[in-house]
Amino acid sequence: MEDNYEEYDNAFVGNLGDMGYGEDTQAAGEPASQIENKPKIFLMGLKRSGKSSIQKVVFHKMLPNETLFLESTSKVVKNDISNSSFVQFQIWDFPGQLDFFDPSFDYEYILNNCGAIVFVIDAQDEIIEALQKLHQTIAKVYQINPNIHFEVFIHKSDGLSDDHKIDRQRDIQQKTTEELADANINVHPSFYVTSIYDHSIFEAFSKVIQKLIPQLPTLENLLDVFISRSRIEKAFLVDVVSKIYVATDNSPVDMQTYELCSDMIDVVIDVSCIYGLKEEEEGLGYDQESHSVIKLNNGMVLYLKEVNKYLALVCLLRESNFDKHGLIDYNFICFKKAIEEVFSRKTTKAGAKKTIKKAN
Amino acid sequence: MGCVVSKSDDIKNENESRQRNQASSSQQPSSSQTPSKQIGIAAKDSEEQPQEVSYSQMRELDNDFFKDIIDRTAQKFIDVSMVGPDGKDSFLDREKDYSAQIKDSKLLKPTSLTSLPRLSQQCQMSNLQNLLSQPTTFDNELMSKYTSSISENLNGIHIKECGELVVFFGNSLK
């Protein structure tokens, strides 16, 4: 399957000339101003903590085992993620050896449009140095842009036992909280235990992306109403390319349920690519006609419907509640129209003012 | 005789006429003095006044917009649990009712079935092989009987000479 993301490996323009970085170039056909206006997510952390592996697995469909052959990142890698009609952002992968706060680095400029910083910590390695860098990063970034979300990925957890995962998370979280409190920094990072070998990395990134979507409360409310009226147990609004869920209803997220819904997308896309595309036709095999119903052997039904070009609604419901699927289809049509209305309106940006004329 | 004298009514009418003329002449200057309104230029009193909308106001407008979408969509949704009766249960109920009806009913043979003539002994199913292989004696006798009857009747036909048969058409030939 061909990636649907554009990737270009460019160094960041600024005062990086002295550090051996080249000139930045914009994506083909896209103005520089439009690229720079997209919210950014920074991947930071020590060397070999797994930053590039995360980016490759989540957004480029790389198999986890293939990440073993990735070379160390030597310069800032910018990935333009335009995976849906409304969620468009950039992933910046920073080398671990890069001193972000070096005076020759214009960090104030690049932090202006940053939405979140994902700090990756290797859970299998010594954490003292990583925590020092994390605290330093939070302290300095907070002074420049206090609106940035801080997300900590306790990564490479696949090598730890369940008890050890909990202990490591508690230890990191406690140390960070105490350090920030001592420094009088009113920042509350979120912590996730992740691994590229299971769906935890996708769930963690989903939470990060959701914090950058201003329409999230509306989406959640719509999903809540939809599932209550349609007798659905759980629903996810999923990006079919990355399998990140941009919204879900307010019931608790069960990892197994998310994995089932994610696997269903894989099945639908793979079958569509094999049988749905004409000869010599390229594409994802996913369009407005895409829909699927899979009956599980545990009395449950997986229900998938296309919402827009890149989003799908994936639901889990009881087989006994699927007898009136015609009414559920009707409710979905209403839901889909509402989603289109939500994203047809551009939300207000911070500090923006608009002049309107009104007749007396 | 021949003398012309003005009447009081004539004088009165003339005075009224003068007053009307004066009134109309006084109105003309006011109408001609009214300034003309240029096309495309709005009056000063109705000019639009620009107003700035702050960030918080825009956020409030956004929230109202989204809330309206949620409310309208919620009203459109059909509550599946309230729509009944349940299709599956309805089918089962109908199936049970039909089975009960079938079980209780007694089918009666119509009398017309028993009044049909029965086939002859030679045409029963046990004799089917013979029927298909060659004609039976019964059939041969029947055909012979019919043939003789037809021949006998044909021989009984006699033709008499009656001359020309003339037929008249319509009343005009009378």
In three-state form (DSSP H/G/I as H, E/B as E, the rest C), the secondary structure along A81-118 is ECCCCCCCEEEEECCCCCCCCCCCCCHHHHCCCEEEEE
Chain B residue numbers touching A218 (CB-CB < 8 A):
66, 69-70
Query: Could you tell me which of B85, B144, B93, B118 has the C-alpha nearest to residue A324?
Result: B85
pLDDT for residue A10: 32
Percent of chain A with pLDDT over 90: 32
What is the overall mean pLDDT for chain A? 79
Domain membership of residue A34 (yes or no) is no
pLDDT for residue A121: 95
pLDDT for residue A4: 34
Residues A173 and A271 in one domain: no
Q: What is the mean pLDDT of residues A89-118?
A: 82
**Distance in angstroms (rounded) separating the CA atoms of residues A195 and A50:** 9
Residue ending a domain, choose from A172, A191, A212: A212
What are the pLDDT digits (tens) for A58-96? 888 788 988 988 888 887 888 777 654 445 678 889 899
> Residue A322: closest CA among chain B residues belongs to which residue?
B80
pLDDT for residue B134: 58
CATH number where A270 lies: 3.30.450.190
> Which site among A215, A225, A355 would you substitute to test the B interface, given the most B Cβ atoms closer than 10 Å to its Cβ?
A225
**Distance in angstroms (rounded) separating the CA atoms of residues A149 and A272:** 37
Residue ending a domain, choose from A167, A197, A212: A212
Residues A194 and A71 in one domain: yes
> Residue A220: closest CA among chain B residues belongs to which residue?
B70
pLDDT for residue A2: 33
Q: What is the mean pLDDT of residues A326-351?
A: 79
Long-range own/partner contacts, residues A128-137 (CB < 8 A, 24 or more apart):
A129/A46, A130/A45, A130/A46, A130/A49, A131/A172, A131/A175, A131/A176, A131/A179, A133/A45, A133/A46, A134/A176, A135/A176, A135/A179, A135/A180, A135/A183, A136/A101, A137/A44, A137/A100
A40-45 β-sheet, strand order: A6-8, A77-81, A89-93, A40-45, A114-122, A149-155, A190-193
Higher pLDDT, A230 or A243: A230
Q: What is the mean pLDDT of residues A298-315?
A: 89
Domain membership of residue A355 (yes or no) is no
Give Rg (Cα) of chain B. Answer: 58
pLDDT band at residue A139 under the 50/70/90 scheme: very high
Residues A253 and A203 in one domain: no
pLDDT band at residue B15 under the 50/70/90 scheme: low
| pLDDT over 90 at A220, yes or no | yes
**Distance in angstroms (rounded) separating the CA atoms of residues A227 and A222:** 9
Domain membership of residue A33 (yes or no) is no
Find the CB nearest A341 among B47, B62, B69: B69
pLDDT for residue B101: 64
Chain B residue numbers touching A224 (CB-CB < 8 A):
none
pLDDT for residue B128: 57
Q: What is the DSSP letter of A285?
A: S
Domain membership of residue A7 (yes or no) is no
pLDDT for residue A103: 79
pLDDT for residue A153: 96
* A212–chain B nearest CA distance, Å: 16
Residues A262 and A321 in one domain: yes
Domain membership of residue A23 (yes or no) is no
pLDDT band at residue B50 under the 50/70/90 scheme: low
Check CB contact under 8 Å for B78 and A331.
yes
pLDDT for residue A212: 87
Domain membership of residue A26 (yes or no) is no
pLDDT for residue B104: 61
**Distance in angstroms (rounded) separating the CA atoms of residues B168 and A319:** 91
* A233–chain B nearest CA distance, Å: 13
- Of the given ranges (A108-112, A143-147, B96-100, B116-120), which has the lowest mean pLDDT? B116-120
**Distance in angstroms (rounded) separating the CA atoms of residues B53 and A206:** 34
| pLDDT over 50 at B35, yes or no | no
pLDDT band at residue A228 under the 50/70/90 scheme: very high
* B101–chain A nearest CA distance, Å: 27
Q: Which two tokens stand for residue A48?
A: 């070999």
Query: Could you tell me which of A312, A317, A313, A314 has the C-alpha nearest to residue A296?
Result: A317
Residues A260 and A202 in one domain: no
Residue A157, class by beta-carbon neighbours within 10 Å (0-12 exposed, 13-18 middle, 19+ buried)?
buried
- Of the given ranges (B18-22, B136-140, B168-172), which has the lowest mean pLDDT? B18-22
pLDDT for residue B47: 42
What is the overall mean pLDDT for chain B? 62
| pLDDT over 50 at B78, yes or no | yes
pLDDT for residue A8: 28
| pLDDT over 80 at A326, yes or no | yes
Residues A147 and A273 in one domain: no
A103: cis peptide before it, omega within 30°? no
Higher pLDDT, A291 or A76: A76
Domain membership of residue A109 (yes or no) is yes
Residues A69 and A197 in one domain: yes
**Distance in angstroms (rounded) separating the CA atoms of residues B158 and B171:** 35
pLDDT for residue A112: 74
Q: What is the mean pLDDT of residues B45-72?
A: 73
**Distance in angstroms (rounded) separating the CA atoms of residues A151 and A201:** 12
Residues A251 and A321 in one domain: yes
Query: Could you tell me which of A240, A215, A222 has the C-alpha nearest to residue A314?
Result: A240
Query: Could you tell me which of A10, A258, A51 has the C-alpha nearest to residue A151?
Result: A51
Q: Quote the number of domains for chain A.
A: 2
What are the pLDDT digits (tens) for A154-185? 999 988 898 979 988 989 988 999 889 999 88
> Residue A217: closest CA among chain B residues belongs to which residue?
B66
| pLDDT over 90 at A12, yes or no | no
| pLDDT over 50 at A46, yes or no | yes
CATH number where A190 lies: 3.40.50.300
pLDDT band at residue A259 under the 50/70/90 scheme: confident
Owning domain of residue A179: 40-212
Higher pLDDT, B117 or B54: B54
Task: For residue A215, give the amino acid letter.
Answer: Q
Query: Could you tell me which of A78, A4, A87, A14 has the C-alpha nearest to residue A43?
Result: A78
pLDDT band at residue A190 under the 50/70/90 scheme: very high
pLDDT for residue B7: 46
| pLDDT over 90 at A242, yes or no | no
pLDDT for residue A99: 78
Check CB contact under 8 Å for A342 and B48.
no
pLDDT for residue A119: 96
Q: What is the mean pLDDT of residues B69-97?
A: 72
**Distance in angstroms (rounded) separating the CA atoms of residues A354 and A345:** 15
Domain membership of residue A20 (yes or no) is no
Pairing mode, strands A245-248 and A40-45:
unpaired
Residues A183 and A231 in one domain: no
Higher pLDDT, A1 or B19: B19
Chain A residue numbers touching B74 (CB-CB < 8 A):
225, 229
Residues A303 and A327 in one domain: yes
Residue ending a domain, choose from A171, A193, A212: A212
Q: Which stretches within chain A are classed as H helix?
A: 32-37, 51-60, 107-110, 128-144, 162-182, 200-210, 216-230, 255-271, 325-344
pLDDT for residue A302: 93
What are the pLDDT digits (tens) for B86-145? 454 555 565 666 567 666 665 555 555 555 454 555 555 555 555 556 566 767 777 787
What are the pLDDT digits (tens) for A119-136? 999 998 888 889 988 988
Residues A147 and A283 in one domain: no
Higher pLDDT, A334 or B54: A334
Higher pLDDT, A276 or A208: A208
Residues A124 and A246 in one domain: no
pLDDT for residue B108: 57
